[in-house]
Amino acid sequence: MPTATTRGAEDELLGGNSDTQFRVYKRRWFGLIQLVLLNIVVSWDWLTFAPVSTTSAQYFNVSDTAINWLSTGFLFAFIVISPLVMWVLNRGPRQAILWASVFLLFGNWIRYAGTRATGGHYGVVMFGQILTGLAQPFVLSAPTRYSDLWFTERGRVSATAVASLANPFGGALGQLIGPLWATKPSQIPNMVLYTAIISSVATIPAFFIPEKPPTPPSASSSLPKTPLKETIRGLSRSPSFYLVFIPFSIYVGFFNAISSLLNQILEPYGFTETEAGICGALLIVVGLVTAALTSPILDRTHAYLLGIKALVPIIALSYLAFVFAPQTRTLVAPYVIASILGAASFSLVPIALEYLVEVTWPASPEVGSTVCWAGGQLLGGIFIVVMNALKEGNVDVVAGGDGKGAGSGDYPPGNMRRALVFQAVVACVIAPLPLALGVKRLGLGDGKVKGRLRLDEGEVGNGEVRTNDAT
């Protein structure tokens, strides 16, 4: 996959050029913070209506399924614009951040116009929701590209983790705050207005972030990236790419699905929207805290394979355990299982993304990242549709209909047990795939990274100079 240009540049750097200077700049934090803000608000936009699905359905006079499509349409929008995202990110993360900001501004205020219309105009809201969905891939796929451009090998995992995991943190805010802002149908427009204001404020710094650092932070960052076509061709021939891409996409898809449907999963058993929102917040917040602890360790140890192989079985078993959580009718079971699932899932995301960059290096980082996230969004949308169809009796609430929240019997009307079983079976079936990474007998080598870390860790002693935290 390396081009002649990249091979020549790599050989020169590995040989040790005494005149080469590598610096990291304090301004890198400004762009990282902006990526964090945009990932927070775009995910908040995604889950604006999901945690108050019943209340939203009553306001718009539509079914729960129609409210689910607001989340599903958002996810499918990712797929539509992914080719453009790869091209824009290849030019630089700043361009992607600007595109995302524009989509967020228009999308949020169009959604508000739709909700403020008399009786609520569902079609307008859906259009605005899709526009916000078009913003997501520009900032969700950007962290690996941004960390490669601005950070060294000792900070990339943490930088990728902070920016990537800000996305589900926004979802947690939506899960917690949405039910507080919209306790009755008439409050839906105000909830969307407050979200639009917050999103608009978060886009302002995007127009002031720098394009790229004056000098590269590391040896690998100074190399030209492989052209897009060659990168895509190389990824399609890499077994290691598929062993990361398939489970990553499926687990992200299920995470998106369970985040969108959590209220509908728990409500038939008598859980309130607020209790379901807290469960969704635990899923995300505990995951964020755990990832904040594990990412710096991985930055220093680079034990990517160990992390992947330890976390994947935990995720699969958590989905299996969640099949039995709602029918306990206690808060303990769903809260504990959601916390474990979040901790494992969030810790895995930055490890998998950075490992993918390493095994496909010197391919441009945004391609593998975008493809993996696109797979997760596509499957997330599909899983929402499938799991909604597996709902017992396919019960929907339309403008205050009944049939949900009865809470009696092991499997009350509208329960989603079959959907949870489907989720658990698929999650367990694909678990062995990432466990095969690094198995020599399968022709996958020892899992050792190909070149980026080897190149960067060889900087010291070769005459290069790095001055940390230049302005």
Tally of domains in the chain: 1
Residue 224 carries which DSSP code?
P
Q: Using an 8 Å Cβ cutoff, are 387 and 261 in contact? A: yes
Tens-level pLDDT at each residue, the chain (471 residues): 444 444 444 444 444 444 557 776 677 888 889 989 999 999 899 889 988 888 999 999 998 888 888 988 888 888 889 889 888 887 888 889 999 999 999 999 999 999 998 778 999 999 999 999 999 989 988 887 888 778 776 777 778 778 877 887 888 788 788 888 998 999 999 999 999 999 999 999 888 888 877 677 766 666 666 777 777 777 777 788 888 889 999 999 999 898 878 888 998 888 888 888 888 888 888 988 898 888 888 777 777 788 889 999 999 999 999 999 998 888 999 999 999 999 999 888 888 887 887 777 767 777 888 888 889 888 988 998 899 889 886 545 444 444 445 555 567 888 899 999 999 999 999 999 888 887 665 555 444 455 565 655 554 444 444 445 555
CB 13 within 8 A of CB 222: yes
Q: How far apart are CA 462 and CA 219, in angstroms?
A: 11
Q: Looking at residue 184, what DSSP letter applies? A: S
CA 293 to chain centre: 18
CATH of the domain at 423: 1.20.1250.20
Note the pLDDT of residue 464.
Answer: 43
Give the range of the structural domain holding residue 259, as residue numbers without chain letter.
22-459
Give the 3-state DSSP-derived string for 224-283, with helices as H, strands as E and coil as C: CCECHHHHHHHHHCCHHHHHHHHHHHHHHHHHHHHHHHHHHHHHHHCCCHHHHHHHHHHH
Alpha-carbon gap, residue 463 to 21, rounded angstroms:
9
pLDDT of residue 59: 92
In a domain, 278, yes or no: yes
Say whether pTM exceeds 0.75.
no
User: 151 forms bridges with which residues in the sheet?
Assistant: none
CB of 260 within 8 A of CB of 384?
A: yes
Residue 220 lies in a domain: yes
Closest listed residue to residue 89, CA positions, set 19, 146, 27: 146
Are 260 and 426 in contact by the 8 Å Cβ rule? The answer is no
17, part of any domain: no
Residue (of 357, 335, 315, 329) closest to 451 by Cα position: 357
The answer to the question of residue 145 being in a domain is yes
Closest of 26, 21, 153, 151 to residue 469, by C-alpha: 26
The token pair at 449 is: 């990274």
Task: Judge whether 266 lies within some domain.
Answer: yes
Q: Could you tell me where the beta strands, DSSP code E, fall in 183-339?
A: none
In whole angstroms, how far apart are CA 316 and each of 64, 202, 309, 321? 28, 35, 12, 9
Backbone angles phi, psi at 467, to 5 degrees: -105, 110
Please answer whether residues 63 and 404 qualify as being in contact, where contact means their C-beta atoms are separated by less than 8 angstroms. Answer: no
Single-letter amino acid, residue 122: Y
Amino acid identity for residue 304 in this structure: Y
CA-to-CA distance for 55 and 51, rounded, in angstroms?
9
Q: What is the model's pLDDT at position 220?
A: 64
Residue located via tokens 């499938």: 386
User: Is 329 a domain residue?
Assistant: yes
Q: What is the largest CA-CA distance in the chain?
A: 75
Answer yes or no: is 1 within a domain. Answer: no
Q: Give 200's Cβ-side CA count (13 Å radius).
A: 14
Look at residue 3 in the predicted model and tell me its pLDDT.
Answer: 47
Q: Is residue 394 part of a domain?
A: yes
Q: What does the alpha-carbon distance between residue 448 and residue 440 come to, in Å, rounded to a whole number?
A: 11
CB 230 within 8 A of CB 125: no
Backbone angles phi, psi at 22, to 5 degrees: -120, 130
